Amino acid sequence: MAESGYPDVLALDGVGVRLGGRQVLCDVTFSLGKGEFTGIIGQNGAGKTTLLRVILGLLEPSGGRVLIDGEPLGGKNKASIGYVPQKLVIDPDMPLRARDVVSLGLDGYKLGFGFPSRQRRELVERALADVGAAGYADARVGELSGGEQQRVLIAHALISRPKLLLLDEPLANLDLRSEQEIVAVLGKLAREHEISVLLSAHDMNPLLGVMDKIVYIAGGRAASGATHEVVTSEGLTALYGHPVEVVRVHGRILVVAGD
Ligand SMILES: Nc1ncnc2c1ncn2[C@@H]1O[C@H](COP(=O)(O)OP(=O)(O)OP(=O)(O)O)[C@@H](O)[C@H]1O
CATH class for domain 1-80+162-259? Answer: alpha beta
Q: Coil, helix or strand for 65? A: strand
112-159 per-position pLDDT tens digit: 356 668 888 899 999 999 999 999 999 999 889 999 999 999 999 999
C-beta of residue 218 within 8 angstroms of C-beta of residue 230: no
Using the Cα atoms of residue 109, residue 114, residue 119 and residue 120 in order, give the sign of their dihedral: positive
Q: Indicate the SS3 state at residue 16.
A: strand
Please give all residues whose beta carbon lies within 6 A of any atom in ligand 1, as ranges: 19-20, 24, 42, 44-50, 202
CATH 3.40.50.300, the chain: domain bounds: 1-80+162-259
Report the complex ipTM: 0.94
Compute the distance between CA of residue 23 and CA of residue 115 in angstroms, rounded to an integer: 45
pTM beyond 0.80: yes
Radius of gyration of the chain (CA): 19
Tens digit of pLDDT for each residue in 52-93? 999 999 999 999 999 999 988 877 777 789 999 887 777 767
| CB within 8 Å of 248: residues ≥ 6 apart | 254
**Smallest CA separation from ligand 1 atom 10, residue:** 19
**What are the tens digits of pLDDT across the range 184-225?**
999 999 999 999 999 999 999 999 999 999 999 999 999 999
